[in-house]
Amino acid sequence: MSPPNDPSTTSPHPALGIDHGAARIGIAATDDFGILAHPLETLDLSRVEPIARIAQLATLRGIRTLVLGLPVRMDGSEGRAAAKVRAFASLLRERLPALPLVLVDETLTTASAAAKLREAGRNARQQKAVIDQAAAVEILNLWMEESR
């Protein structure tokens, strides 16, 4: 049995970051130590059942925490998009009850991701395939920063 303060049993990592959108969901993951977040994939909601795929990824990667971006308005209020994300969070909790699910204010994460992709030389057309994954990375980075 592991000691009570053993990081292998108390660490929230690896964590799965989720950027929920109307047409696509970006997925990213942290390493086992919570040092880096990296993009994984984009789920096209017209082609894949997202809850099943997220559950599969969680199992395959030994995920210990789900981190879901919550779209909060600039004034701090929540609108329809946030209600949809909260409903999605409920479905995730039903499917994966053993995993903690954390909601993180995702304000400006897509804009931040787009700026970083532009700096890396990607134009708007090139960004489309990876912007949701990059936003999920930003969500995880925010969460990791808040957790320190």
Per-residue pLDDT, averaged over 10-30, amounts to: 93
Instruction: Please report the beta strands in the chain, taking only residues with DSSP state E, as ranges in sequence order.
Output: 15-20, 24-30, 37-44, 65-70, 101-105
Who wins on pLDDT, 109 or 24?
24
Between strands 15-20 and 24-30, the pairing is antiparallel
| Model confidence band, residue 103 (pLDDT cutoffs 50, 70, 90) | very high
Domains and CATH numbers, the chain: 7-147 (3.30.420.140)
Residue 37 to residues 8, 12, 67, 110, 141, Cα–Cα distance (Å):
18, 13, 12, 15, 7
Q: For residue 1, is pLDDT > 50?
A: no
